[in-house]
Amino acid sequence: MKIAIYGGSFNPPHLGHIRAAETVARELSPDVFLIIPDNIPPHKEMYAMSPSPEERMELCRLSFGHIPGAVLSDMEITREGKSYTFDTVSAVREKYPDDELFLVMGTDMLLMFEDWYHFRYLLENCTLAVLARADGDHEEISRHAAYLRSEYGARIEILTHEPFEVSSTDIRERLQRRMGADMIDDKAYSLIIKNCWYGAQPELMWLREQAYSYLKPSRIAHVAGCESEAVLLANLHGEDAEKAATAGILHDVTKKLTADEQLLLCGKYGIINSASELAAPQVIHAKTGARFAAEQFGISEDICDAIRWHTTGKPDMTLLEKIVYLADFVEPTRSFPGVDELRELAYKDVDKAMARALEMSLEFIRSRGGTPIEDTVRACEWYNCIEE
């Protein structure tokens, strides 16, 4: 049998790794294709905000699951100490004493192969399967492969491979700048975002796609309008526009749920509702939405608070909270008496706009015979006091 061994930190596994694995499957057609995340790589420090080895295993499962013959192995993760390829190949050789082993590596690993721990043993027991890491590597690979063949009798196969020039370091940096979603398997990216691994922040385009999938189609225009208005207000008043956009995108993420479904979600999150909230369950989605945003998308507390208070308001809101409240109130699809004047006021003075918006909200609730939420009443008193 042909046994291919593909190891690495995979921190995180990305499109370069996936394409390499696809090449190995296509070019070698191994009967068993072992993909082996390492525990502690001997040649580099593990990045501080990395997932645990077991969590990297899950990222690899999501990323490589479609590869023919792929078998994800935890042999290095469960082994204590640093992950030397010698130990891994020894274990594989013991299990497959008479089979052909292929050790997969890129250009950089081939060039430094003589520095590997017990590299002669590896050459005796494995054929090196080499892939270019970058365009233009082929001449260097061929030259060094010829040297290793001549010097050590190495068996080397240079695989026909179109490289994807990106490193895990590049990916980690991109993730912190709301980039990189197109370079990682979508399910793996979702898991990274959910857990904030690598300090990752969700790409806004990706976040829109995710959030819109939870909405009724008729609500998407409002959510898009709230996002654009929140960004405009943030830019006018000196708030972080990406935080405002994130809150705008997610502010109604649980709005589609029925009253009973909202209460079930409250139970899951341990949310307690007042009598007035239970009497007006349409406001509860702000609470559940904030918790859902944190759980599903790893959203920071300040953004979740802006989602939490976007329906009722409260006294002494942060600038971000006020911006999202007002954006929801005056976004371009809104049409009610006084909205144009309120919108213009929001562009000039956030606190005066809050006072007027809260008054309008109370007037509307009372005109319909409803009971105002306590937080809204207190917020109205607070902002009217400021105005006075």
- 270-318 residue pLDDT tens: 999 988 888 888 899 999 999 999 999 999 999 999 999 999 999 999 9
Q: What is the pLDDT of residue 385?
A: 65
The token duo for 191 is 């898991």
- Half-sphere exposure of residue 229: CA atoms within 13 angstroms, side-chain side: 26
Cβ contacts of residue 117 below 8 Å, gap of 6+?
Answer: 42, 84, 85, 86
Checking phi first, is residue 356 left (phi over 0); if not, alpha (psi -120 to 50) or beta?
A: alpha
* Model pLDDT, residue 356: 95
Tokens 């004493």, residue located: 97
The pLDDT, as a whole number, for residue 134 is 83
- The confidence score (pLDDT) of residue 45 equals 63
For residue range 166-220, list pLDDT tens digits in order: 889 999 999 999 999 999 999 999 999 999 999 999 999 999 999 999 999 999 9
With a cut of 70, list the residues of the chain below it in pLDDT: 40-46, 385-388
pLDDT at residue 46, rounded to an integer: 64
Classify 164 as helix, strand or coil. coil
Rounded to whole angstroms, the Cα distance separating 359 from 378 reads: 11
Radius of gyration of the chain (CA): 28
| Burial group, residue 2, by CB count within 10 angstroms (0-12, 13-18, 19+) | middle
With 0.75 as the threshold, say if the pTM is over it.
yes
Burial of 250 (0-12, 13-18, 19+ CB in 10 A): buried
- CA dihedral (285, 289, 290, 296) in degrees, to 10, reads 160
CA angle 230, 236, 240 (to 5 degrees): 60
